[in-house]
Amino acid sequence: MSTDGAKGYNKKSVTDIDVAGKKVLLRCDFNVPIDKETGKIRDEGRIIAALPTINYLLDKSAAIIACSHFGRPKGEFKPEFSLAQVAESLSKHLGKPVKMAKDVVGPDATSLAAELKPGEIMLLENTRFHAEEEKNNPDFAKKLADMADVFVSDAFGSVHRAHASTEGVSHYLPAVSGFLLKKELDHIGGAISDPKRPLVAILGGAKVSDKLGVIKNLLKISDAIIIGGGMAYTFFKAEGGKIGNSLCEDSEFESVLSCKKEAEERGVKLLLPEDSVAGAEFSNDVEAKTFDSDAIPDGMMAMDIGPKAIAAFTKEISCAGTIVWNGPMGVFEFSKFAEGTKAVSEAVAGCGAISVIGGGDSAAAVRKFGVADKITHISTGGGASLEFMEGKVLPGIACLLDA
Ligand code: AMP
């Protein structure tokens, strides 16, 4: 995919700078899921995902000072939020020792960092053991930066936050992306700034208020926008439709009507689900009945798009050159209301278009329906990918050196 037109996302990466013999502060996403009963790492996916950048840097004779946040220790040292078991797992995957610091910017971290040799790696303790991290405190950022010569950012899931370890350090060190972050910039940035047309955006999920920013930005660049999921019913009710007990945000009527108007003015096709599958309560143990989406009886809640909507949506998807998708078409966690999200997943995977999926529930859906390997890019950052698609300037991206 061409990313030549990816204005503002054309940033330097690790391959654009000389790292040999340098100390690299590497911001990773080691915010791994933990098994509640054993307290052990439940899924090492994020650790494994960090390996390409780490191996590249080590092969190039850099010394790596890795760092990450982990959970919400609220600015205090709490042993249950220690990254020590991440260091063990990382060491196992790298086949070499990972020196674990006892602190973040204290005497242990700074002396380990000072002694670190090319080709060696250490891990700082959880950056959120200091309240200064989330406050983007310049002194704390400088202490982090002082240990290194270069900053490599590889934690896409945190780039929408201006924290000391995601943005602050870039005021003191040359900053570039690692491979994981570069992939996100190329794929999401490419899809929204230089898409192969037609660009079809698919938006779903529960709350329309969460997605209005994305709808507004995608209206400027898309050829068609498909809207499904709980958020669709605010559109129907705003126009006087009957939606029973379906999700609705009355406070957003004006906003959704203005989105519809803007779509008309811009000639963007806006597709809403003509029909929906509803049940008497938010449960899988109900009878599923299909109705027109603007004529849902009292007491019924729409929890999936219906067969006519599936036909219309999949037809539109089949013509797409590029697809961006964020949010499921219904309550896909319930088998009786999963059909719409399943059909859209399969259509996106099978249509041959460049497909970019924001993290979170739509990513979970393509995995659940077994088509994840046919998607061009599944983002690792839910919140970050949403803000990226909103066209916002993300502080952890803006701070990187321009290519
Ligand atoms: P979001 O985080 O806004 O993308 O919303 C994702 C959640 O929306 C999923 O857990 C879905 O079960 C839920 N969802 C999607 N469609 C509906 C619907 N029609 N009614 C209630 N919840 C829905």
Give the model's pLDDT for residue 360: 81
* Interval 175-185 mean pLDDT: 96
Q: Name the burial class of residue 52, with classes exposed (0-12), middle (13-18) and buried (19+) by CB atoms within 10 angstroms of its CB.
A: middle
pLDDT grade for 381, boundaries at 50, 70 and 90: confident
Angstrom distance (rounded) from CA 305 to CA 374:
23
Catalytic residues: 46, 207, 360, 383
Beta strands in 71-222 (DSSP E): 98-100, 121-123, 150-153, 175-177, 199-203
Residue 6 has pLDDT above 80, yes or no: no
| Summary count for the chain: helices (H), strands (E) | 15, 17
pLDDT grade for 403, boundaries at 50, 70 and 90: very high
* Interval 361-375 mean pLDDT: 95
Nearest Cα residue to 32 out of 45, 19, 15: 45
Angstrom distance (rounded) from CA 291 to CA 219:
28
Q: Which atom of ligand 1 is nearest to the CA of 331?
A: 12
Angstrom distance (rounded) from CA 184 to CA 177:
10
Angstrom distance (rounded) from CA 391 to CA 382:
15
The backbone region for 9, taken as left when phi is positive above 0, alpha when psi lies in -120 to 50, beta otherwise, is alpha
Residue 2 has pLDDT above 50, yes or no: no
Q: State the chain's mean pLDDT as an integer.
A: 95
pLDDT grade for 124, boundaries at 50, 70 and 90: very high
- Which has more confidence, 259 or 382? 259
> 77 phi and psi, to 5 degrees?
-70, 115
- Centroid of ligand 1 to alpha carbon of 224 (angstroms): 21
pLDDT, tens digit, 9 for 90 and up, residues 95-122 = 999 999 999 999 999 999 999 999 999 9
Mutate to test the pocket of ligand 1, among 331, 389, 390 (most ligand atoms within 8 A of CB): 331
Angstrom distance (rounded) from CA 61 to CA 20:
5
Q: Using a 6 Å CB cutoff, which residues line ligand 1? A: 205-207, 210, 229-230, 247, 302-303, 327-328, 330-331, 333, 360-361
Give the model's pLDDT for residue 359: 74
